[in-house]
A = this chain, B = another copy of it.
């Protein structure tokens, strides 16, 4: 049976791949078919046809990855409950230590050599910090199709961290990023069902934040973090553009056209994207870097994102490193798909971008695009690495295994294994690839089930529990249920964003009161 992915690969197979490789591809096809049925059966019934078609493509990948041997220790489940009970009165994180002497290594100056396995506790804490910044883009995102602000952030810059309980990280948000897209990306843009909305053409796509004085002291420099929002529905629309590569940057780099379109598109008639996401970010970074360097401070750029956000983080890192040649640029990405060809990978390396790429072994998104195909060709890197059409991962991979956590359900969890909260749970529990889930992991386990049904039922945590009371309706003075108007501060205001853009002298109101 011909599936979408195979069809898409056909031109490559015919024109570029040596005979031996073609044979291998055919052999894989037969292995796949036996596995497919099981995988399709395990998928939730509401999954779309597109996802079903994708599932077929993933099946071969998965059949190699998922082994029948469970690495997991046999943990008595009543023990687990009491373990959890004990944890309920423990702080959700360990005390922070001063990492100012070590920050360059933690951000990859030695390519994370010796820091990953076993995982250095300081690095673990920093990964979780950036991951929680990325998670904020999901938690604050307005996905309600009945909201006139659908596709925006529910809170103003000033309230974001406070509302989500992230002030403890010691950063302040200076800028919101909006994106549009010049090419047709079905299902990418979240749109309100209502006629009157805050914007028809833009979505909130992330933010820029800066470490405050205390945190800067602890981490040894002024850290500017750029956070890119992802989307968990990436598999739904990804196949629509996975084969289109477009030139990017100064050399032979090519990247997935869809990602580039989100990153670089603008539209004169839109309210939020008269400038592109790229321009918005680069302008803000110029101001910030300039501002702090003038004060004699060392500055770093840390770019993070999950899924689609991880892809945008790489594009952004390329541009930032090419612009700010004297600034350390690192990427900490979660569940990122492949973004470009080997030229893109090589040029990122030349630019000195350090990338730590977290991947859950059971998550299929990082295998995109290319999947079976490129996965296979990695074994032939010396032959094919120079071919511009091969999608290539960049940076250092940090692999997590969902089976190690005794708190997670076993078996295929298509969506659950891709969720950022799952990644953060697994990082928190990771000691080394040889040891079981950390006994003293402190992160709240309940967070895993925010948007999934991945925790074992013994934990009594309801699935998909992250929801607002009465879908945001509140009773007015007469007892009528109404959708309250948003606070003026929480309504996206392009005038404000433009003012911030036009004023080149100061980076933001938060930093310069």
Do B476 and A88 touch across chains, with their CB atoms under 8 A apart? yes
**A residues 120-146 touching B (CB-CB < 8 Å):** 144, 146
Do B465 and A446 touch across chains, with their CB atoms under 8 A apart? no
Do B146 and A444 touch across chains, with their CB atoms under 8 A apart? no
**Contact of A479 with B146 at beta-carbon distance under 8 Å, contacts A467-B470, A467-B471 already known:** no
Do A92 and B446 touch across chains, with their CB atoms under 8 A apart? no
A481 within 8 A of B: yes
**Contact of A478 with B194 at beta-carbon distance under 8 Å, contacts A146-B462, A467-B467, A468-B469 already known:** no
Taking CB atoms, residues of chain B closer than 8 Å to A187 are none
Do B92 and A447 touch across chains, with their CB atoms under 8 A apart? no
User: Which of A89, A465, A483 has the most chain B CB within a 10 Å cutoff?
Assistant: A465
Copies of chain A in the complex = 2
Do B91 and A446 touch across chains, with their CB atoms under 8 A apart? no
A459 (CB) vs chain B CBs: closest residue: B146
**Contact of A483 with B460 at beta-carbon distance under 8 Å, contacts A478-B89, A478-B90, A478-B91 already known:** yes
Q: Which of B91, B466, B469, B480 has a CB less than 8 Å from the CB of A444?
A: B480
* Interface bits A449-475 vs B (CB < 8 Å: 1, else 0): 000000001001110011111111101
Taking CB atoms, residues of chain B closer than 8 Å to A465 are 470-471, 473, 481
> Residues of A within 8 Å of B, CB-based: how many?
36
Whole-angstrom CA separation of A471 from B455 in the bound complex? 15
Taking CB atoms, residues of chain B closer than 8 Å to A444 are 479-481
Whole-angstrom CA separation of A87 from B468 in the bound complex? 25
A194 (CB) vs chain B CBs: closest residue: B460
Do A146 and B460 touch across chains, with their CB atoms under 8 A apart? yes
**A residues 150-179 touching B (CB-CB < 8 Å):** 165
A464 (CB) vs chain B CBs: closest residue: B471
Taking CB atoms, residues of chain B closer than 8 Å to A480 are 87-88, 92, 444, 446
Whole-angstrom CA separation of A164 from B226 in the bound complex? 45
* Interface bits A477-508 vs B (CB < 8 Å: 1, else 0): 01111110000000000000000000000000
A193 within 8 A of B: yes
Do B469 and A469 touch across chains, with their CB atoms under 8 A apart? yes
**Contact of A466 with B457 at beta-carbon distance under 8 Å, contacts A91-B478, A92-B479, A479-B444 already known:** no
Whole-angstrom CA separation of A447 from B471 in the bound complex? 13
Taking CB atoms, residues of chain B closer than 8 Å to A89 are 476, 478
Do B481 and A447 touch across chains, with their CB atoms under 8 A apart? yes
**Contact of A446 with B88 at beta-carbon distance under 8 Å, contacts A462-B146, A467-B469 already known:** no
Taking CB atoms, residues of chain B closer than 8 Å to A471 are 462, 465, 467
* Interface bits A17-31 vs B (CB < 8 Å: 1, else 0): 000000000000000
Do B482 and A144 touch across chains, with their CB atoms under 8 A apart? no
**Contact of A473 with B446 at beta-carbon distance under 8 Å, contacts A90-B478, A480-B88 already known:** yes
Taking CB atoms, residues of chain B closer than 8 Å to A473 are 446, 461-462, 465
Whole-angstrom CA separation of A472 from B466 in the bound complex? 10
Q: Which of B90, B193, B482 has a CB less than 8 Å from the CB of A88?
A: B482
State how many angstroms separate the Cβ of A145 from the closest Cβ of chain B: 8
Taking CB atoms, residues of chain B closer than 8 Å to A165 are 475, 479
Whole-angstrom CA separation of A92 from B475 in the bound complex? 11
Taking CB atoms, residues of chain B closer than 8 Å to A45 are 45
State how many angstroms separate the Cβ of A179 from the closest Cβ of chain B: 26
Q: Which of B87, B146, B447, B457 has a CB less than 8 Å from the CB of A193?
A: B457
Do B466 and A146 touch across chains, with their CB atoms under 8 A apart? no
**A residues 411-443 touching B (CB-CB < 8 Å):** none
Taking CB atoms, residues of chain B closer than 8 Å to A466 are 470
Whole-angstrom CA separation of A89 from B475 in the bound complex? 11
Taking CB atoms, residues of chain B closer than 8 Å to A446 are 473, 480-482
A444 (CB) vs chain B CBs: closest residue: B480
Do A461 and B91 touch across chains, with their CB atoms under 8 A apart? no
Whole-angstrom CA separation of A446 from B457 in the bound complex? 34
Taking CB atoms, residues of chain B closer than 8 Å to A146 are 460-462
State how many angstroms separate the Cβ of A106 from the closest Cβ of chain B: 25
State how many angstroms separate the Cβ of A107 from the closest Cβ of chain B: 27
Could you list which residues of chain A lie within 8 angstroms of chain B, going by C-beta atoms? 45, 87-92, 144, 146, 165, 193-194, 444, 446-447, 457, 460-462, 465-473, 475-476, 478-483
- New A-B pairs, 7, CB < 8 Å, besides A88-B480, A92-B479, A146-B461: A89-B478, A90-B478, A91-B478, A144-B462, A465-B470, A466-B470, A469-B469
Closest 7 CB pairs of A and B: A469-B469, A465-B471, A446-B481, A462-B471, A146-B462, A444-B480, A92-B479
The 26 listed contacts between A and B (C-beta, < 8 Å) are A45-B45, A87-B480, A88-B476, A88-B480, A89-B478, A90-B478, A92-B478, A92-B479, A146-B460, A146-B462, A193-B457, A444-B480, A444-B481, A446-B481, A446-B482, A460-B483, A461-B473, A462-B471, A462-B472, A465-B471, A465-B473, A465-B481, A466-B470, A467-B469, A467-B470, A467-B471
